[in-house]
Amino acid sequence: MFDLIIKGGSVVDGSGRAAYHADVGVNAGVITAIGALGTDARASVDATGRVVAPGFIDPHTHFDVQLLWDGAARPAIEHGITTVVPGNCSLSLAPLKAADRRALVGMFQQIEELPPAAFTDAFEWSWESFGGYVDALQRKLALNVAPLVGHSVIRLWVMGDAAQQRSANAAEIAAMQQLLRECLDAGAVGLSTSFVDVDERLHPVPSRYAYRAELDALAKVLGEYGRMLQVVPEFYATDLTIARIDQLAELSLKYRIPTTFSPLFDSAATPENVPRTMARVEEQFARGARVWPQVQTRPIDISFSFERPSLFFARFPSWYRVMRLPRDERIVALRDAANVERMVSETGADGGRTFLGKLRVRGGEGAPDDLVGRTLADIADARGESAARCLINVSLEHDLLVPFLAANVGHQDASRVGPLLAHPLVHVGASDGGAHVTSFSTYGDTGFLFSRYVRETAHLSLENAVKKITADTAAIWGLKNRGSIKPGCAADVVVFDAQRIDRGDEHAVFDMPGHGMRYVRHSVGVDTVVVNGAIAYRDGSYTGSSTGIVCT
């Protein structure tokens, strides 16, 4: 007698071997049998005509805070995600002294575009230690969580304000090492650090004040546990990224640890970036180092309005400055002729036509009917204005609420991204799940991998695509007994239609704490998601299960 049988499906087991027909039997949360298993079970799932695969693992997320009010990380789980890694990019919710909470929330707000209410309105912040955070997390998880601990918070704990002022002395480095050990003992699966991020005052985050000796000392502790070092390199500059690959490779070889860096984007503006970066990755792997580049599947799409700051304006300093002003001052600045002149000239001699002309007004709240679907170039021509001026005026005329979409800003050329995703040394991930909620949907990248790169372009076989986001991920991160359909493995399973699996349309919802907005995508073609033997999602509904665990 089984607790659960998944019957009659086509098993794609994560190893890369060809799909085969079999039932999958589960007992006590673990896969116990594969074959022709009959019907003797307390529950069953009919998988006829469907693929039965290991649950997908998302290795780069910022679900740290969402998991505290939504243990299913909706809508991640309906896309087949059964394990997520939060705590990336040097930021985690522990270890953190109560006095430093505001500083961390500021960093999350600036870097990951999460609203402050997400940290204050929906849960009680009761912990300081990493173990305390893990306990709070485990209360009602519908999926598994393999959390990283952030270098910036470790530094903040040990050094206080000095964490954003100077390098650490020997005693402070020793204290950070000890603190990292405690986090790893309490369930952290590695350390994350960043070489690029800034806080809400635009000051470098604490991890950026570390000298090499500090990161080396922390990597030494990771070596004691064989755990991951995750890094955000200077991804906008290929030479600097390559220098970081070399630095990571030395740490990987010296301490026998895996390392991973993200993002690695393809872009028409810097076509040499991916080939040069991958050439160095290949050289370092040939030496025995593990430096896994993480590559996302989706193209870069960015939505914004003048209602709040957006990363879209990162390359236009005077726009960026104006967007960060309080709302009333922002409106005053957008009406100030001299200021507008400066903003317009910053977008180029053509009044922003090249950079901004392809922007499109998207539907949704605040979108004027007569403008929805039109490009900014089209609207500007009709009004006899430059694109930049039109963007400002249209926003002012509609109370700053008009939503614009910059589609395919990069990473959209399938003839280049497809082979990259299929590269054996590329770690498919980097969704940023749960972050940048007002700029784009970080949900649905796995569905997109199948619709675009398996069905449409055939850069990956079904079996290889599944392997890339299950068994490969578990192996890279050292997650034990996950990511495969085989006896003894945790019963994390997704049942989907290989002909239909996809991401749905991106749309805005207002379900963040404090009625905050975020962009989401629902799944298409995913029937059933099982986490540790329990059905978490079935036929379009979440079951309310809570069988997720903090897993290492």
Task: Give the footprint of Zn ion on this chain (CB under 5 A).
Answer: 88-89, 432
**Nearest to 109, CA basis, from 351, 384, 311:** 311
Cis peptide before 75 (omega within 30 of 0): yes
> Which residue carries 């449409």 as its tokens?
456
- Give 192 or 528: the residue with its C-beta nearer to Zn ion: 192
DSSP 262: -
Which amino acid is residue 442, in one-letter code?
A: T
Task: Annotate 417-452 with b (16+ C-beta within 10 A) or e (fewer).
Answer: bbbbbbbeebbbbbbbbbbbbbbbbbbbbbbbbbbb
State the sign of the Cα–Cα–Cα–Cα dihedral 531, 535, 541, 544: negative
- CB of residue 192 vs Zn ion: minimum separation in angstroms? 8
- CB of residue 258 vs Zn ion: minimum separation in angstroms? 18
Tokens of 412: 């959209």
Q: Are 35 and 75 in contact (CB under 8 A)?
A: no
Dihedral class, residue 132 (left if φ above 0, else alpha if ψ from -120 to 50, else beta)? alpha
Distance (Å, whole) CA 477 – CA 489: 16
- Give 92 or 446: the residue with its C-beta nearer to Zn ion: 92
- Give 107 or 462: the residue with its C-beta nearer to Zn ion: 107
Tokens of 22: 């079999």
- CB of residue 89 vs Zn ion: minimum separation in angstroms? 4
- Which long-range contacts does 498-502 make (Cβ < 8 Å, 24+ apart)? 498/10, 498/50, 498/51, 498/450, 498/454, 498/455, 498/462, 499/455, 499/525, 500/524, 500/525, 501/80, 501/447, 501/450, 501/451, 501/525, 501/526, 502/444, 502/447, 502/448, 502/450, 502/451
Distance (Å, whole) CA 207 – CA 139: 30
Q: Are 465 and 429 in contact (CB under 8 A)?
A: no
**Nearest to 91, CA basis, from 69, 121, 119, 112:** 112
- CB of residue 59 vs Zn ion: minimum separation in angstroms? 11
- Give 89 or 134: the residue with its C-beta nearer to Zn ion: 89
- CB of residue 118 vs Zn ion: minimum separation in angstroms? 16
- CB of residue 91 vs Zn ion: minimum separation in angstroms? 8
* Beta-carbon-side half-sphere exposure of residue 278 (alpha carbons within 13 Å): 21
- Give 2 or 235: the residue with its C-beta nearer to Zn ion: 235
- Give 277 or 431: the residue with its C-beta nearer to Zn ion: 431
**Nearest to 205, CA basis, from 314, 99, 111:** 111
- CB of residue 112 vs Zn ion: minimum separation in angstroms? 7
- Give 209 or 235: the residue with its C-beta nearer to Zn ion: 235
- CB of residue 82 vs Zn ion: minimum separation in angstroms? 20
Reported residue count of the chain is 552
- Give 88 or 92: the residue with its C-beta nearer to Zn ion: 88
Q: Identify how many contiguous H helices and E strands the chain contains and give both numbers.
A: 19, 25
- Give the nearest residue (CB) to Zn ion: 89
Which secondary structure element, helix H or strand E, spans residue 54, and what is its range? strand 51-54
Tokens of 46: 């009919």
- Give 113 or 385: the residue with its C-beta nearer to Zn ion: 113
- Give 37 or 114: the residue with its C-beta nearer to Zn ion: 114
- Give 291 or 435: the residue with its C-beta nearer to Zn ion: 435
- CB of residue 107 vs Zn ion: minimum separation in angstroms? 12
